[in-house]
Amino acid sequence: MLTEILSNFSEDELLDFLPKSSINFALDLDESDTNLQAKSFNKMHLARVVASVKQVDFIFDKHLRNKLIERLSSQLIVNLFPSFNLQVKDVKPKHYDAIISWSEENLEDFASVLGLAELYNSQLRQKDEFESLTHIEPAYGLYPYQQDINRQVFCSLKAEKERVLIHLPTGAGKTRTAMNIACEHLRESPTNVVLWLADREELCSQAYEEFSKAWKSLGNRSTSLYGFYSSSSESLSGIDSGFVVAGLHKFLSLRKSDSRQLKLLYKELAEKVTLVIFDEAHKAVAPKFQEVVQDFITDKSFHADLIGLTATPGRSYSAEGLSVEDERLANFFYNNKVSMKIPGYLSPIDYLVEQGYLAKANFKSLNYNHSTIAAYELRDAGGVETMTTLANNLERNRKIVDTIIDECNQNSQIIVFACTVEHGINLATALSYKGIKAASIDSKNDTPESRRAKIAQYKNGELQVLVNFNVLTAGFDAPKTNVTIIAKPMNSLVQYLQMAGRAMRGYKSGGNRECNIYTVMDNIPEFQSISLAFSYWNDMWAEKETK
């Protein structure tokens, strides 16, 4: 239906829906026609590409939605809106105005009219304002290695070490392990309060939903779950027990607030929290984040333990060895780390893959002809100039697109990490041009609603490829993903592992037996397997198992 409506637009109008650079990008990559003059979208092909790339936006973007409605033919008005009881000759401007007004209040019904009702499935139905207080009535088990981590953590805290970092590989279940610890802590006293800290909405949302599932199986009473992140308007007042999910940026704004009342409520919460869990704990020593953490664990008049969660217990990678930042992180957690130690295995990764908890990762390099890139164009390693140069390199992009198409022909589910915002849009456009169901997401162009919608489409299988720029490195759970394309060069081992880990969920957890990790211009050659990366920072930590 969307394509049919778009066919009422002229070619020039359809071209305006997409960046001109994206159109040229798709055409340049098309080698099926060597006649450059003949290369172009025909109108229906163009309408299909626009419908694929901008599908979500025609629902959630008011400007585009209205533009679409205004272009409905009189016959479509009669067919799609029988409640008007009109003949074609009776359709007037007032009917278009009525549809525009109606659609703004009834997005779900409007999506259904377009044949896109699946965008409003159960995974998508999230409110603009979070349901910030949920009463949960009391499965949710742990794998053996997670049970061992759980035991080590409680032994460490009972020995009054106060701070401990949980180090588990990406995909090994850090969140589930931590939720069991949180539930056990809440069961110990009806006045205990667990504070879960994370710096991104996706991580906060994941924790909010995961605790709800965990407490239904592990709880011993009704408790309260509070969400204080993103657009939540929940007040901090009256929190005497339960589980609080808080965004670090939200708390940072509270610390800077001029409101005495807000600062008082923040201080009162700090006095009631008994356990702090910091997700992505390698960020805990970032100066501003560290200030927030210390508000809850360092005051002499009250006490809260601290648990950190990470797949990479370090802040950076350096060829010269462990950095000053790595030392600061280790010291912040009192050099107290609990991790996996499996007898008979050199690395826990080998055990997790063999047992089916993680997928076997096949690391593959995507090589292309670098001769067209001058050295001076890459002088700002990791900077805007370098990223833009790589994003615009035709040979590099052909290699990426061809690899994606080959994997799509094998029914793979693919996450792509692009160099820039424009690169992500261009790749999604080129793939749609080739008939691949693809979309791009980024924090610049997407609203929270459109971002959730596209992620839901990907998880449901409506999209085969999701291209992103700086969005899906963490807090994203789509177990069926079996291919990751890392098309963004970096010197951060932390980010590299997070990206690679998006495809590594094992079959025992609803994922795959094997996965492919493609790296374009792999600039971390020392790490050809995650096994080596997992143990990189271990020398910084005193891993003495508590008896």
220-224, 461-465, 502-506: which has the minimum mean pLDDT?
502-506
171-202 confidence digits (pLDDT tens):
888 999 999 999 999 999 999 999 999 988 88
The per-residue pLDDT for 534 is 56
- Give the residue with greater pLDDT, 218 vs 238: 218
DSSP state of 127: -
- Is the pLDDT reported for residue 407 higher than 80? yes
The per-residue pLDDT for 135 is 59
User: pLDDT band for position 282 (50/70/90)?
Assistant: confident
The per-residue pLDDT for 545 is 40
User: pLDDT band for position 121 (50/70/90)?
Assistant: low
- Give the residue with greater pLDDT, 496 vs 17: 17
- Is the pLDDT reported for residue 208 higher than 50? yes
Please tell me the distance from the alpha carbon of residue 401 to that of residue 279, in angstroms, as a whole number: 34
The per-residue pLDDT for 430 is 95
239-276 confidence digits (pLDDT tens):
989 999 999 998 988 888 888 888 888 888 988 999 99
86-105 confidence digits (pLDDT tens):
898 898 989 989 999 998 88
The residues near 27 (Cβ < 8 Å, ≥ 6 apart) are: 39, 40, 41, 433
Q: Which two tokens stand for residue 410?
A: 């094998």
Please tell me the distance from the alpha carbon of residue 105 to that of residue 109, in angstroms, as a whole number: 9
The per-residue pLDDT for 533 is 55
User: pLDDT band for position 495 (50/70/90)?
Assistant: confident
287-298 confidence digits (pLDDT tens):
899 999 998 987
Percent of the chain at pLDDT above 90?
Answer: 29
Burial (CB count <10 Å: 0-12, 13-18, 19+), residue 30: middle
